[in-house]
């Protein structure tokens, strides 16, 4: 296989939020390199995993700032890129799937309108053609009767269907990198696997890379190639997914230890003890 440059290089990423009580660092010195692979980022709430994803898209909240030693996507320096350049990357080359389709689909626009928009933002497509391609896209995410769903409103969809629609919207411009921020946390367990399988299939077919953000270590371990464990805004450990069980960092080991098992002995799960030394 031909060796190619890494798709994404993140070196020393910091995300800081200005608050009335002074600046708060959400991401501190995070570095990783991503090829055409599936990278999982795990961590608890507030560990900075979501903000890492949003910083890559340049979509931090108004009071947030991102800085890094180096931040390049396919050779483009994201730190120097202007708003227009970043917007051209957004959607077209980097896309993101959010947690809950109940909130991430616009409630007053039909499903069809929202998919068609994704086509028309980046390419000069006629309405008719965009509609045809949107219908094909709905079919590609395994939605039966795409015509019906095309005209449906978001509130008429189930959670699983909503997330399929969201995947369809984000995969429309065939991005090279998809960031999935807890894409299955709001879904039923049975639907969860279907959506993951679909995601896997879509990525494989297009050869796109994935950053999978989750708090579920087991899920990330089985779905991704590599796992980044974040704690308090830092990467505490990077592992290959199949080496997860031999993790060395006490935080990762602690997380693994408090996962319930069906074949466990039924005793109480251990409580995770945090060592202040991890913050240093």
User: Is residue 249 near another protein by the rule CB under 8 A?
Assistant: no
Which own/partner contact pairs does 190-194 have at CB distance under 8 Å and 24+ positions apart? Answer: 191/158, 191/159, 191/160, 191/163, 194/142, 194/160
User: Is residue 142 near another protein by the rule CB under 8 A?
Assistant: yes
Q: How many CA atoms lie within 13 A of 197 on its CB side?
A: 8
User: Is residue 158 near another protein by the rule CB under 8 A?
Assistant: yes
**Which of 143, 168, 199, 210 is in the footprint of another protein by CB under 8 A?**
143
User: Is residue 162 near another protein by the rule CB under 8 A?
Assistant: no
User: Is residue 100 near another protein by the rule CB under 8 A?
Assistant: yes
The whole-angstrom separation of Cα 216 and Cα 189 is 13
**Which of 14, 38, 49, 90 is in the footprint of another protein by CB under 8 A?**
90
User: Is residue 88 near another protein by the rule CB under 8 A?
Assistant: yes
Q: Name the minimum Å distance from CB 195 to another protein.
A: 11
List, in sequence order, every residue forming a beta bridge with 212; answer none if it has no partner.
Answer: 40, 180
Residues 167-226 that bind another protein (CB under 8 A): 169-170, 173, 191, 194
Q: Name the minimum Å distance from CB 111 to another protein.
A: 11
Query: Which two tokens mark 225?
Result: 């190639």
Contact 213, 228 (CB under 8 A): no
Report the residue number, 141 or 244, with the smaller CB distance to another protein: 141
Q: Which residue has the tokens 């007053």?
A: 108
Q: Name the minimum Å distance from CB 246 to another protein.
A: 36
- Give phi and psi for 221, each to the nearest 5: -60, -40
Q: Which residue has the tokens 């994704």?
A: 118
User: Is residue 145 near another protein by the rule CB under 8 A?
Assistant: yes
Size of the site for another protein (CB under 8 A): 47
The SS3 call for residue 42 is: strand
The whole-angstrom separation of Cα 75 and Cα 14 is 20
Residues that bind another protein (CB under 8 A): 54, 57, 59, 62, 87-92, 95-96, 98-100, 103-110, 117-118, 121-122, 142-145, 148-149, 152-153, 155-158, 160-161, 166, 169-170, 173, 191, 194
């Amino acid at each position: 296989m031909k060796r190619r440059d890494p798709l994404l290089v993140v070196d020393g990423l910091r995300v800081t939020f200005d608050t009335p009580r002074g600046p708060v660092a959400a991401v501190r010195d995070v570095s990783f390199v991503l090829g055409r692979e599936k990278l999982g980022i795990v961590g608890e709430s507030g560990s900075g995993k979501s903000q890492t994803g949003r910083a890559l898209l340049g979509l931090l909240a108004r009071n947030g700032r991102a800085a890094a030693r180096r931040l390049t996507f396919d050779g483009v320096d994201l730190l120097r890129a202007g708003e227009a350049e970043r917007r051209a990357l957004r959607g077209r080359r980097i896309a993101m799937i959010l947690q809950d389709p109940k909130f991430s689909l616009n409630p007053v626009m039909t499903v069809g309108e929202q998919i068609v928009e994704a086509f028309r933002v980046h390419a000069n497509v006629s309405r008719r053609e965009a509609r045809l391609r949107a219908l094909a896209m709905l079919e590609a995410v395994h939605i039966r009767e795409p015509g019906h769903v095309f005209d449906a409103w978001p509130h008429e969809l189930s959670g699983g269907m909503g997330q399929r629609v969201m995947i369809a919207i984000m995969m429309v411009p065939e991005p090279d990198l998809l960031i999935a921020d807890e894409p299955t946390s709001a879904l039923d367990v049975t639907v969860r696997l279907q959506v993951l399988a679909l995601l896997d299939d879509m990525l494989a077919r297009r050869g796109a890379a994935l950053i999978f953000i989750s708090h579920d270590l087991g899920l990330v371990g089985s779905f991704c190639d590599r796992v980044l464990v974040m704690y308090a805004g830092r990467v505490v450990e990077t592992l290959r997914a199949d080496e997860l069980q031999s993790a060395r960092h006490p935080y990762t080991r602690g997380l693994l230890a408090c996962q319930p098992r069906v074949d466990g002995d039924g005793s109480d799960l251990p409580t995770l003890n945090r060592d202040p030394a991890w913050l240093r």
